[in-house]
């Protein structure tokens, strides 16, 4: 697995087309730092629940709070960081090799996720101890 650090995680500003009728966010071309092959969204997540709790071996991911807010807890095996996502104007880029947990979902929160590849269970590390051990290799 690629050795990555928290410093490679970044907030990306989503280009907007502003109009008196409402704003339009654009995800195309160089906006997303990878070509995405999978798009999914989380919604109706209870406020006391969490999602994620995994790392990807190869896939890159961009998370966007389309509505409401939630925290993303990131861990590279040495350092942890918490980022609040609460605006569709920014996406959180997460490279492979970073453990992530999503928690504290507000009422009506919607999390959009763009991934660099289609779903593959083989790309996931779902056990934290296994993740930690992979960082020591």
Active site residues: 54
Q: Which single residue is written with the structure tokens 């509505």?
A: 67
**Backbone dihedral angles phi then psi of residue 107, each to the nearest 5 degrees:** -60, 135
Q: Is residue 92 classed exposed, middle or buried when 0-12, 13-18 and 19+ CB atoms within 10 A define those classes?
A: buried
> By C-alpha distance, which of 33, 49, 28, 51 is closest to 41?
51
Cα distances from 135 to residues 38, 45, 66, 76, 96, in angstroms, run 26, 30, 32, 8, 12
């Amino acid at each position: 697995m690629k050795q990555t650090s928290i410093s490679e995680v970044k907030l990306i500003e989503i280009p907007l087309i502003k109009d008196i009728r409402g704003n339009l966010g654009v995800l195309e071309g160089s906006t997303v730092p990878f070509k995405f092959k999978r798009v999914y969204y989380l919604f109706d997540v209870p406020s006391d629940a969490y999602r994620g709790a995994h790392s990807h071996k190869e896939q890159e991911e961009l998370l966007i709070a389309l509505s409401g807010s939630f925290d993303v807890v990131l861990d590279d095996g040495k350092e942890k960081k918490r980022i609040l996502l609460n605006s569709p104007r920014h996406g959180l880029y997460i490279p492979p090799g970073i453990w992530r947990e999503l928690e504290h979902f507000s009422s009506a929160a919607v999390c959009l996720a763009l991934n660099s590849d289609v779903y593959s269970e083989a790309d996931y590390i779902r056990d934290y101890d296994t993740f930690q051990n992979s960082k020591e290799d």
